[in-house]
Chains A and B, each alone.
Chain A
Amino acid sequence: MARNRALRITRLLHKGLNLAITRIPSTTHEPLLWEYAESRESTDIVSLDDSYGLYIDGEFRKPKSRNSFTTVNPANEDVLAKVSEAGPADVDDAVSAARAAYENVWGPMSGAERAKYIFRIARMIQERSRELAVLETLDGGKPIKESRDIDLPLVAGHFFYYAGWADKLDYAFPGIKPKPLGVAGQVIPWNFPMLMLAWKVAPALAAGNTVVLKPAETTPLTALLFAELTQEAGLPPGVLNVVTGAGKTGAAVVSHDDVDKVAFTGSTAVGKLIQSQLAGTSKKLTLELGGKGAHVIFEDAPLDQAVEGVINGIFFNQGHVCCAGSRLFVEESIHDRFVDKLKRRLDTLRVGDPMDKNTDIGAINSKEQLDKINELVDAGQSEGAEIFQPDCELPQKGFYFRPTLFTGVSQSHRIAQEEIFGPVLSILSFRTPDEAVEKANNTPYGLSAGIWTTKGSRILWMADRLKAGVVWANTFNKFDPTSPFGGYKESGFGREGGRHGLLAYMDWDEG
């Protein structure tokens, strides 16, 4: 009864409403084609000079060698700047400046005082992180979203972390009284120019050493901007010296008689050369070399997240990552399903201008590297592996490579053995955990590995057996200043990051 009355009332209301509104028939439902904006980060924040000198003894100098080279933007092949090439005389100057700073200023300084400088540098990196991120992307080709959200925050994090150790070194290793080594010669690669600088410079300075740094020839600009920043921070002259150049300059740094410690990150071939050169000298050495990381996916893994992990593992920074998960081992029972998921995910990756905030995969760092990737991908095809690439357009200019999967790969294929250092994933299958371990370890390298399973005991079982410096479980490519990083076998020795990272820059009296 009450309900009927309500209905009558509302009929009246309804009539009134009908007059007030014009009916709009609902439109046909056509799917929306979604377009992302080309959302370019402005490069105005970076002001580039036409040419750069060497940073020696607290000032930028013209090189005695009188030689220079150009650095280009790999995204469009534009020349960015002319950079000095340091010859033996220049390296000699840099080492002398570092030696003097070590003897007179930085060595005798208390840890608490050193910490103040390093903290100041860390804060300045944070303040200027956008500028550094844009320059990193300009010079190196990595997507701005990575340099902005991953590289630079980690760079600042490393300086903060090691600044905190500078006045606590006596307590870092119980029973050990540490001393700095002296002058550290550091040679870093082009894949993470600022991050590798931070991994090396921050612990060296915190432990009381002075530094001669040689950045990679294709990515020298952020190191030079960093030098300028330390100058503004008032870091005493000679504590940090930056000598730019190619292999010859690097060789001059590592073989200099007055260098006490050599730290190198780069290819295994060059690492071997350095180690043989240093044999018989008293120089300390740490090497962080190549890798062919294994990513192992078990049947019970969280598959959709594993797909993301694999994508991140191999396509992060265009695959220019020494710890990239470039070999994928999938349990046979889910192989096809998993590969289908990967292929579908590959189709949604956005390849292109690294300065676009929506870009997932940016530019290959150099023509040489692009040639090398092409060579190995051709080898993979001629060896009979099946290639898959999404059908995406690449920019006309610049160095780009489509994200690539190889299925049907055998251990004996070159693409399963050699480090490609590009966005190329080799997919293999396995049947049992033992087989997965055996295949994953069947490489001269041993830098990284990933395990995907929901079974906790299997994670520990695998981690015990995988010969890799870092083993990630249900994730990949995670870095933190407090966590040590380094390799097994031909991936090098010595650890960077964490408390372990200090050891590489210290000598000690026991007791």
Chain B
Amino acid sequence: MAGKTIVVTSGKGGVGKTTSSANIGTALAMNGKKVCLIDADIGLRNLDVVMGLENRIVYDIVDVVENNCRLEQAMIRDKRYDGLYLLPAAQTRDKTSVTPFQMKELLDNLKEEMDYVIVDSPAGIEQGFKNAISGADRAIIVTTPEISAVRDADRIIGLLEAEGLRDPEVIINRIRADMVDRGDMMGIDDMIEILAIDLLGIVPEDEGIVVSTNKGEPIAINQKAKAGLAYRNIAKRIMGEDLPIMKLEKEGFLSKFKKLVGLS
């Protein structure tokens, strides 16, 4: 099996790289794919927490590249879904502990066993970013409807092109229909016009993300959440299905009422 390596990156911090990585990986596994999530944010690991697997870490990515353990020993199997694995970052080391060459070698080995390898890139454009993108076949850029995030995304697209990673796709995260309608938030079209790359999906702002992150349960599992549906759709698009981008919906009276009485 020769799978695909997908790097999830953004340039700017806090736009939802880790959340997106966790949910895309989970949603792919829900579709029966064999997936390994890799946390490339060495020294600031988070993906394990978001996945709720923190307490099962024994070895990490640095142990693997330094040959302290075998790759299989460091991979944590997620018990919720068959075929979902996590290779955690080291917390007590820094980005220089891994080189792009080692990363590429690791990914090349790993994707032999997997359908998809999802690499969660750190913020920034330095060594950690360079490690994360080396060996990737495909790139997903996460951005939010803010000028600073779009500017950084644009920079990242340029850097990816320079590394030979062409045609990245973008996920627009945390979008709010009401604010877009009022003209207080950049619309999807405005962002795509500047970035000029394909839109992989949009994820509406959802309070449920905070809850699911704190509980260590990716929101993709939650069948009721809008953001969960958004990530499941994104996963299907990654698998090659042609799904329309979800319509942005304003919170109507009914759903507000439902929330008030606790139905939704």
Do these two chains really belong together in a complex? no
A binding-site residues for B, Cβ under 8 Å? none
